A and B are shown apart, each in its own frame.
Chain A
């Protein structure tokens, strides 16, 4: 029988990591994601699977605890929301430099600064373009449902260890807090120390006579060697771009206009697509699931088919830059966003699409003036 439960997004990912065989969670409370740590504590992970759950003194400490655990070949993670993720950038950069696998969750809230505790998508640049110092990328997964919050725990760890890379689940306050039904799967056993030693020969598990000592460091003072390290990192990111792109096409086959949106915004646009179809507008939605690697090729293909694309984000226009890079001028690309924790409504985004592309194209620009221009 299927194990189906009604859960919050934050609880779903917490349950997901336990079942994905996670070894350790280190985190610090912050709204709107504190339920992750609370759920893990309440469910007694140590007794359930042997997984360690520890409340750290800060997000800085959390990410460096993750570093220490990951360097031992363990499946470790942390979660936070925007201000906390900013604090973690040092540690994330060190993990990029040492190619350590880990799972990171950002349940994004509006910024800058303390901002708000309401949902937002304004950390796209930080997540996708490399928020810390140095040339690096993380794999970024964007869940649009509570089920995906759950599923991306397992997928995230798989990708992290497959490529020795940091995987960030870029969620938002709405996906984290809302409740939906979730289908759970079987518990995956945690790896034993012996299995880790065998599977991950790079891990610091204690130097035994059968191998050289293992060193986890991001330092090389020789610029020639450091350049080679960087070039190899870039090769890895290229490979990931070629092999790990994920997206969902919703009513794209006959679409003349396209929404491009991820996470909560994609849910809103999905509704707007149905609304548009009722109004006789052939509109579709491309939902990137991986934000890095970005579904650029798919968008380039769709650019040959549609008359216009509207990137809908709860930000002042971050992902829209990647949409524009993908289509490279082949089709008009516009942005619509709400800021500071406000979520747009489906008819609102549909009206924007109509105004930006359709009413303009039948040469009635005056209609535009009646629309409150927000951004």
Chain B
């Protein structure tokens, strides 16, 4: 009679594994709020770095924001940059280590407020780096204050009656701006809140990493994400709110793709 393995044995048998966590994520428990998109974004980037066998060739730059501790979770060499300065730091690395895969991982306050200058000029110089931009429309880390990307009338700790665009300015579509610059090569906007979106986002991340090797300019992937804590919603509510409010203003898809030859 054939031996029928127990459920536990089936799980333990490595041949049966269809999916597992990439070894480029460390065992440190993620410090993100349950339901937050940052963790998924970390996993996807590290998965691609692993699949492309780039661990020894990668230098990452962590920002100031909720993902300041990205270096605790990504099992690669990393530098922590001052608030907004990651693109300058990455420029310094890439210019001196041109054979490495160099990326920054930044929030919307980091990239589109305090670091706008560094971001635009790194893009404009066509630095051969990759920027991963997690846009949650808010300052998550400091407790939910208004970001440059905060939607009109959206309530935050520093716009408690809603963002009044007359006095507080308009949400900044920095990704569209960046796509206009001749120094950028590939610009895409994705999300990671459903399995289908995760698959698309992964494709964009793969391209952004592959293209860096061509030395044709800066590759930029925005991930529109939730901040359920800052938005004061459950994770489920926040994803729904994101679809209904963020996506119309920040539509998903490729914004700039290399011309086929």
Contacts and interface: CB of A to CB of B under 8 A. Distances in A.
Contacts of B95: 24, 52, 54, 65, 69
Interface string B183-225: 0000000000000000000000000000000000000000000
Interface stretch (A56-64, A255-263, A269-277, A278-286): A56-64
Interface string A73-109: 0101000000000000011001000100000000000
A340 B80 CA distance: 39
A207 B56 contact: yes
Contact of B97 (A61, A90, A193): A193
B71 interface: yes
A65 B91 contact: yes
B130 to A, nearest CB: 15
A113 to B, nearest CB: 21
Given A206-B77, A217-B71, A60 B117 contact: yes
A222 interface: no
Given A57-B117, A65-B89, A68-B91, A23 B96 contact: yes
A194 to B, nearest CB: 13
Contacts of B89: 64-65, 67-68, 71
B79 A68 contact: yes
Given A61-B117, A204-B59, A206-B57, A91 B85 contact: yes
Nearest to B102: A68
A312 interface: no
A73 B85 CA distance: 19
Nearest to B74: A213
Q: Which of A26, A58, A204 has the most CB of B within 10 A?
A: A204
B76 A219 contact: no
Interface in A137-179: none
B243 to A, nearest CB: 34
Nearest to B91: A65
Contacts of B85: 60-61, 64, 67, 90-91
A361 interface: no
Given A58-B117, A205-B77, A215-B71, A68 B92 contact: yes
Contacts, number: 127
B73 to A, nearest CB: 11
Interface in B72-130: 75-82, 85, 88-93, 95-97, 100, 117-118, 121
Nearest to B93: A68
Contact of B80 (A69, A76, A217): A217
A234 interface: no
A205 B55 CA distance: 11
Contact of B76 (A54, A57, A74, A213): A213
Contact of B88 (A60, A76, A217): A60
Interface of A is mostly: mixed
B121 A216 contact: no
B78 A215 contact: yes
Contacts of B77: 204-207, 213-215
A179 B92 CA distance: 32
A308 B118 CA distance: 52
B229 interface: no
Contacts of B56: 206-209
Nearest to B68: A219
A206 B58 contact: yes
A66 B92 CA distance: 6
Contact of B79 (A56, A61, A71, A208): A71
B61 interface: yes
Nearest to A204: B77
A72 interface: yes
Contacts of A62: 88
A52 B96 contact: yes
Contacts of B71: 213, 215, 217
A72 B78 CA distance: 10
A303 to B, nearest CB: 43
A89 to B, nearest CB: 11
Contacts of B75: 207, 213
A214 B58 CA distance: 11
Contacts of B79: 67-68, 71, 204, 215-217
Interface in B53-67: 55-59, 61-62
A60 B89 CA distance: 11
A226 interface: no
Nearest to B118: A61
A239 to B, nearest CB: 26
Interface in A328-344: none
A218 interface: yes
Given A57-B121, A64-B118, A69 B96 contact: yes
10 pairs of A and B residues whose beta carbons are closest in the complex = A68-B92, A65-B92, A217-B80, A64-B88, A68-B89, A204-B77, A64-B85, A57-B121, A69-B92, A61-B88
Interface of B: 55-59, 61-62, 68-69, 71, 75-82, 85, 88-93, 95-97, 100, 117-118, 121
Given A60-B117, A204-B79, A204-B93, 16 more contacts: A54-B91, A57-B118, A60-B118, A64-B81, A64-B85, A66-B92, A68-B96, A69-B96, A204-B77, A206-B55, A206-B56, A206-B59, A213-B76, A217-B62, A217-B79, A218-B80
